Amino acid sequence: MGLEFLARVRHTAAIAGFVAALFAATYASYAVGIGVAVGVGWSIANLAMLQTIVLAMTGPGGGRSRVTLRAALAMAGTAGLLAVAAWLLPHLSLAGVAIGFTLPFAVMLLKAVSSVLLGSGAWRRLTASRWRPALLVALALVAAFAITDVVTRPLRAAPATSSTATLAQAGGEGAGTKAGGEHSANAEAGEQEEQGPPEFPTAVGVLARLGHGTAWGAFLHHDEAIVYSLLVALLLCIVFVTAAARSEKVPGGFTNVIEYLVETLHDFVCDILGPKYGPRFVPFLGSLFLYIWCMNLFGIIPFMKSPTSSLNVTLALALTVVLYVHFTAIKELGFIGWLDHLAGSPRSVVDWCLVPLMFPIHVIGELAKPVSLSCRLFGNIFGEDMLLVGFASLGVTALAATHLPFGIPLHFPFLFLALMTSTIQALVFTMLSTIYFLLMLPHDHGHGHEEGAHHAH
């Protein structure tokens, strides 16, 4: 047992804490669910730090100074946990935090009891036949279902009782109160309609509900997509800074994956823009692909959301690309050359006669580029998320009669479709952006614009 036993306890407690937090958030409130999650995390981190302190004081450690440093860092981490917990406790459910904090110790007790039970003769006699364990598991599932139904029945009946009392109180008031109640109900219905279709609960959304009425809660509620886009950018920075810091003569698996991505994006951009301009725009266009790709895939992670399912994010990306394209065109061609390009590069009398027609068409086309880029990406990712929500809700509805906090994972096959469409949309956005650069940059051969226009169409 020893350290291996403690590691198994932490892993099992993390899984059990996740399920318990979902159960509490479903049948009690978000505050209780977050309290359970915080309590479990606090307890697991506390156990890990205590283990570090014990190992630092009793293990070999490689020198007294290093042992002292490790013990001091672990104690500082424990003090930091206590400070964070003291700040969080007034904002969370004390019952939820207490349940979550004691959960790892309950797991430890159950694991110890199961270890004794598995080594006993009674267990060997019970498992001598395959039907006895199956019957025991079936009885355990029936008992768990019965306990779940008994525990959640008051919680399910509470909203209905509260609504009945509210309606009875409203029925005893005058006509003016009724009119006010109808107006309030209509306002709430309008607010629900403005919120749009239902979505999966997200971590930022839960924090926004906890901070309801505060400035940071309002920021998280209205700018949730921006928060997730910044989080994706931070994670990408951490990944690539870590990869760049590893100077290995023989790269490992992680470094090989990063190098393969960079090399593939470099070849992709240079094949379109050519060897002269390709390396110059690889950092921008490669980062654009990785950023959009990770944002598209971020919504597949539980309790996360794809920032590109918001039109604000996709429009900002598209405007950044188009403005950078025109900035590059003015820098490479000059202001007069840029206007000449928008006019269709007239070189004959007929071309000059068509300038009043061609110039507005080109300007309208440039204005349409950010609209097409943003709406295409937004529509595909938003539709993908709504598809997952719809089938997940259908799976929960299929088991609605059982009152369980989970359902049939009907949305699971569509996760692979989401992987494919997210990659395709990031690739399409990057390819079109690259072609926009190609169409604006000066060319040595006259067929360059025609080839770029053909790819763009």
Does residue 199 contact residue 385 with C-beta atoms inside 8 Å? yes
Instruction: Name the residue among 259, 262, 278 with its Cα closest to residue 270.
Output: 278
Question: DSSP letter string over 131-151?
Answer: HHHHHHHHHHHHHHHHHHHHH
Instruction: Name the residue among 167, 163, 161 with its Cα closest to residue 181.
Output: 167
How many whole angstroms from its chain centre is CA 146? Answer: 35
Q: What is the pTM of this model?
A: 0.60
Measure the CA–CA gap between 242 and 387, rounded to whole angstroms.
Answer: 35
**Phi, then psi, of 230 in degrees rounded to 5:** -70, -35
CB atoms within 10 A of CB 216: 11
Q: Position of tokens 């979550």? A: 100
Instruction: Name the residue among 440, 196, 423, 192 with its Cα closest to residue 330.
Output: 440
Question: DSSP letter string over 285-302?
Answer: HHHHHHHHHHHHHHTTST
Token pair of 53 as six digits: 């302190």
Measure the CA–CA gap between 387 and 375, rounded to whole angstroms.
Answer: 18
Q: How many residues does the chain have?
A: 457
- Measured at the CA of 299, the angle between CA 296 and CA 303, to 5 degrees, comes to 160
Q: Residue 421 half-sphere exposure, CB side, CA atoms within 13 Å?
A: 22
Does residue 40 contact residue 17 with C-beta atoms inside 8 Å? yes
Token pair of 131 as six digits: 């039907």
Measure the CA–CA gap between 21 and 33, rounded to whole angstroms.
Answer: 4
CB atoms within 10 A of CB 270: 18
User: Which residues lie below 8 Å from residue 48, measured CB to CB, with a gap of 6+?
Assistant: 10
**Phi, then psi, of 440 in degrees rounded to 5:** -95, -25
Domain definitions of the chain by residue range: 3-158+197-213, 229-456
Q: How far is CA 75 from CA 2, 9, 78, 290, 368, in A?
A: 21, 22, 5, 39, 59
pLDDT string in tens for the chain (457-residue length): 466 777 788 888 888 888 888 777 777 777 787 888 888 887 888 777 777 777 766 666 545 566 566 667 767 776 776 677 677 677 777 777 788 888 888 888 887 788 787 777 777 777 777 777 777 777 777 776 666 655 555 555 544 444 444 444 445 444 444 445 444 544 444 444 445 455 667 777 777 777 777 777 787 778 888 888 999 999 999 888 888 877 666 667 778 888 888 899 999 999 998 888 889 999 999 999 999 999 999 888 888 888 998 899 999 999 999 999 999 989 888 888 888 888 888 888 887 888 888 888 888 888 899 999 999 999 989 888 888 888 877 877 777 666 666 677 777 888 888 889 999 999 999 999 999 999 888 765 444 444 444 444 4
Measure the CA–CA gap between 304 and 297, rounded to whole angstroms.
Answer: 10
Rg (CA), the chain: 30
Sign of the C-alpha dihedral, residues 340, 342, 343, 347? positive
